[in-house]
Structure 1
C-alpha cells in the first residue's frame, strides 16, 4: 500500500469522525423556560436540565415571589432569568419550549400563552382537571400549531417499552383481555412533599381530585396507549377517604374499572400504599406480562412458564422527558403515544367520568364519537 493512499485513508477516517461531532457541536442547545415551581417534580427536572450541554435554561416563571427567590438561590438562577409574569418571561427570554410545573388547573393558561407565541409545551401529568380545560388546551394547540406533551414518569420505563414490543408488536400474548395498573404511595403528606405541592394536591379544584387524578392518570394513560387510543365504553369508579383528617377535601383511595368491547382495565390509585409503586399487569388471550417499576418484568407465554425478563434499553429519544422534548422541538419526531395530546384528551375523559361515577355511584358511558 503506497504512502499517499494511506494518507488518504487516514484523512477519510478523520473526517468521518469529525463531521458528525462538529454537526452535533454546532447544534445550539435548546432554549428552555420553566413555567411554575409549585409541582414537586420541578427540582429533579431543574437539576437534570442544568446538567445537560444540549439545554440552556433561559427563564423561570413563578408568580409567588418568595418561592421564586428560594429556587433562584438554590439553583443559582440569574436575576435576569427569573420572572413573576409569564408573558414577560416568554417575550424577553424567547424560549423554544416550555416545561410547565404549575398546578393542573393552570395548564390551559400556560398552553394558551405558549400557543400565541408558537412554542412547544411539556407539562407534568395529568393534562387537565376537566374536559372543558382539556378542550381549551386542544383548541389553543391547534390555533398555535404547537405540540403539547404530557410527561409521566412511567413513559420512560424500559419495562413498559418491552411490554409494548412483546404484546403489541410481536402479539406474543394474543389479544389483550385485562390490564391492571397499581400506582401511588403512602400519601403526599406522609412522604413529605413540598408545602406548595401539598397545598394544591389536596385541593379538588386545582388537582381535579385526590389520588383519583394524581395516580389514576397513570393507568388511564397506559391503557389508552395499549388499546390504541380506543375510548372505553363505560367508566365505573369508587373513591374513599381513609385519611379524612389529613385530606379532608379530596379522596385518597380510588379504583376505576374501564369496560372495552373485548377487554377490561382496572386502575388502583392510592395514597395509602405501604410503599411506592408504579406497576402494570397485562393479560392476553394466552400470555401475560407484569412490570414492577421501570426495570422489573415477568413474562409468561405458551410453552414458557412465567419467568423474569431483562427489559430492553430505550431509544435515545425515549429514555427521559428532556431528550424526547428536544427531539420533538427539533422536528426529529412526533410525540410518542403516551406523551401525545390525543392520548391525554382520552385520559381526561376517563378521569372526569370516574369522578362523576364515584359521585353518583353509577357507571358513566362515554359519548360515542
Structure 2
C-alpha cells in the first residue's frame, strides 16, 4: 500500500474546523497523526472524536515525531512564521493558513528555511482554486485578454468584524485588520492572474471607524472568538494603489465594516483584448466579436470547497505529482505589499519597494 502522508495539525480553531478538517479527513492519501492546540479541552476532544493518536498543547512536542511528514498550521497570524520555520527545520513539509507572516522579514525567513530544508512550504491561496479563477487563468495564459495593464480588487462588508476584541482585532496577534485578513486573498488572485509582476510602489490609507459599533448583520462577525473587554487596534477599512515593474497598476479596497449597500468581493482586470470580472465567484468577460461589444459568461461547475482543493494540491506537490502553484517567493512579495501599504497609510506618502 502506498505511503500515506502523516499530517500534524497545529491550531484547531474556526478556520481548521470550517475549511481544513473535512477535506483532510476525506483525502485517501492523508492520515491525521497528531493534533495540537493551546486549548487542551478542544484538542483532546478532536483527538478522541476522530481517533487521532497524539494530542498536544505545545507544537514543539508534535514536531519531535519523526513519522510526521507534514504540518498544517491554523493558528493566529503571529505564530505562522515561528511554527513554519520550526517545522521546516524539523524536516516537515509545511502548509500554513494565510497570511504567510505578519511582516516581510518573517516571510523571508520562512522562504529561506524552505530552501535550506528542501521541503515544501505553501500558504493558503484558496481563491486560485475556484472554477472561475481556473477558467480565467487559462483564458489569460492563452492570450485571450492581451496585455493586462490595470485592474481593481476588493472585499468589502457592510458589517462583519470577525471575533471583535479577540485575536483578529489585536494587531500584535493579527498584524492588521481587513487588509491582511481579506486583502491577501484578492490581491493575490489579481497579481496571479496578471502574471505575477513585481510590485515596485504602493500608496495606502487605513481607517478605524467601527471599533465602538456593536451592530452586526453578517455571519462573518461570529467567525472569530469575541472578547467583550478585548483589543481593537487595527483598521476596519483600507484602500490603496499598487504599481508593478511592467507598468501595470491595481486599485484595492477592503473592509470589515462600512456603510455600503451590500457586501461583495471581486477582481476586475482590463486588458487590450478583453476585460474580466470575478465577483462573488461569478465570472464575466468583456470583449468584441463580429464587430460588436460582447459579454461572455462561461457556464462553470462551481467548486464549493476551494480550501480543500488547495490542500489536495499541496498533497500532490508533496507526492511529486505536480509543480507548486505558489512559491515561497510569491508569499514574500505578498507580505511586502501589505506591509508597504500599512507603512504608506501611516506616513501619508507613497512607499517604494
Task: Give the TM-score range, shorter chain.
Answer: 0.7 to 0.9
In structure 1, what is the equivalent of residue 342 of structure 2? Answer: 355
In structure 2, what is the equivalent of residue 300 of structure 1? Answer: 286
Alpha-carbon distance change, 325 to 293 in structure 1, aligned in 2, over 3 angstroms: same
Distance in 1 between the 2:203 and 2:338 partners?
10
TM-score (norm 2): 0.85
In structure 2, what is the equivalent of residue 335 of structure 1? Answer: 324
Describe the SS at the equivalent of 1:32. Answer: strand
Alpha-carbon distance change, 318 to 100 in structure 1, aligned in 2, over 3 angstroms: closer
Question: 2:24–2:308: 8 Å Cα contact kept in structure 1?
Answer: no
Distance in 1 between the 2:63 and 2:308 partners?
28
TM-score (norm 1): 0.81
Alpha-carbon distance change, 116 to 62 in structure 1, aligned in 2, over 3 angstroms: same
Question: 1:72–1:78: 8 Å Cα contact kept in structure 2?
Answer: yes
Residue 149 of structure 1 pairs with residue 85 of structure 2: no
Describe the SS at the equivalent of 2:166. Answer: helix
1:186 Cα offset (Å) = 4.6
In structure 1, what is the equivalent of residue 147 of structure 2? Answer: 175
The correspondence of residues 79-90 of structure 1 with structure 2, limited to 5 A, is 80-90=53-63
The one-character-per-residue Cα deviations of 1:132-154 (angstroms, maximum 9, x if unpaired) are 11122122112211111111231
Distance in 1 between the 2:314 and 2:20 partners?
12
1:284 Cα offset (Å) = 0.6
Alpha-carbon distance change, 52 to 233 in structure 1, aligned in 2, over 3 angstroms: closer
Corresponding pairs, count: 328
- The higher-RCO structure (CA 8 Å, 6+ apart) is 2
The one-character-per-residue Cα deviations of 1:82-125 (angstroms, maximum 9, x if unpaired) are 11121221223722111110111111221122112221111111
Question: 1:103–1:206: 8 Å Cα contact kept in structure 2?
Answer: yes
In structure 1, what is the equivalent of residue 275 of structure 2? Answer: 288
1:325 Cα offset (Å) = 1.3
In structure 2, what is the equivalent of residue 251 of structure 1? Answer: 235
Alpha-carbon distance change, 47 to 207 in structure 1, aligned in 2, over 3 angstroms: same
Unaligned runs of 5+ in 2: 214-230
Unaligned runs of 5+ in 1: 1-25
Alpha-carbon distance change, 234 to 77 in structure 1, aligned in 2, over 3 angstroms: same
The one-character-per-residue Cα deviations of 1:214-243 (angstroms, maximum 9, x if unpaired) are 111123312332343322221111111120
1:162 Cα offset (Å) = 1.4
- RMSD (Å) for aligned C-alpha atoms: 2.5
Residue 346 of structure 1 pairs with residue 333 of structure 2: yes
Describe the SS at the equivalent of 1:201. Answer: helix
In structure 2, what is the equivalent of residue 50 of structure 1? Answer: 25
Question: 2:97–2:124: 8 Å Cα contact kept in structure 1?
Answer: yes
1:27 Cα offset (Å) = 2.2
Residue 160 of structure 1 pairs with residue 133 of structure 2: yes
The one-character-per-residue Cα deviations of 1:175-221 (angstroms, maximum 9, x if unpaired) are 112221122445554xxx5x5x9621111122111011111112331
Distance in 2 between the 1:153 and 1:228 partners?
17
Q: Which runs of 4+ in 1 moved over 6 A?
A: none
Describe the SS at the equivalent of 2:199. Answer: coil
Residue 241 of structure 1 pairs with residue 230 of structure 2: no
The one-character-per-residue Cα deviations of 1:311-330 (angstroms, maximum 9, x if unpaired) are 4788xx99702210110110
Alpha-carbon distance change, 329 to 186 in structure 1, aligned in 2, over 3 angstroms: farther
Question: 1:203–1:249: 8 Å Cα contact kept in structure 2?
Answer: yes
* Structure whose CA Rg is larger: 1
